[in-house]
Amino acid sequence: MKALLRNLACLVVLHIPASAAEPDSAKLHAWYRAEGVKVDGASVSAWENAAAPGGVRSLTRVVGRPQALRVSTPGGERTVVRFDGKSALWAPVNPWGTVAGERTIVAFVRVASDASGFLFDGSTKAGSAPAQIVAGKWDTSATASPAAKAGGWQVQIFVFTKPKTPLGGFILGANVATKGGLACDVAEVLVYDRALGEA
């Protein structure tokens, strides 16, 4: 997991200048990054998928009031999305689709102090595949990096090698019932339809 973390850390655009190499979008099921955040005032109205043209697999359904924030990074100013524990962004299984087999989800997050709740899930009960922080640890069926420590930006990696259920649709910031949200800032999320190894 440590080797994978080092390799993926260079992919997260928040850390690197925009001119640096980016992941091949053809190898991604979905990619939510700063340039895709759409706002209405300070509230986020959608998060477009950079991995597909025409907004396919974009998170266009909004629960609560996720907020757009501008933060300074070594790569310049970037937009991130703040979830307050009562907000979420999601896409239903149609048109987001389903990832039936192995998958990897990479998120660059900053978790609020003593936060607990769901970072992501599927948007259907049949396609539920959550990652939740409970008592400072990830509760998930994935192999996960250590839970994010409060206050600092961290790359969180979730590798589902033997998923019990498919990932049907996608919800960010809460669970399938849009409950149990996680108070956190999210800078970027990458969804691969394969289990990334440590090579």
Instruction: Give this prediction's pTM.
Output: 0.87
Q: What does the DSSP assignment read for 144-158? A: EPPPPPBTSEEEEEE
C-alpha 46/C-alpha 53 separation (Å) is 15
- 50-82 pLDDT, tens per residue? 998 788 999 999 999 999 999 987 678 899 999
- 110-149 pLDDT, tens per residue? 998 788 999 999 998 888 889 999 988 899 999 998 877 7
Once rounded to an integer, what is the mean pLDDT over residues 172-194?
Answer: 95
Task: Report whether pLDDT(19) > 60.
Answer: no
Q: Report which of 119, 96, 97 is spatially closest to residue 106, judged by C-alpha positions.
A: 119
Contact assessment for residue 84 and residue 181, using Cβ atoms and an 8 Å cutoff: yes
What is the DSSP secondary structure assignment for residue 51, as one 8-state letter? T
- What is the distance, to the nearest Å, from the Cα of residue 103 to the centroid of all Cα atoms in its chain? 13
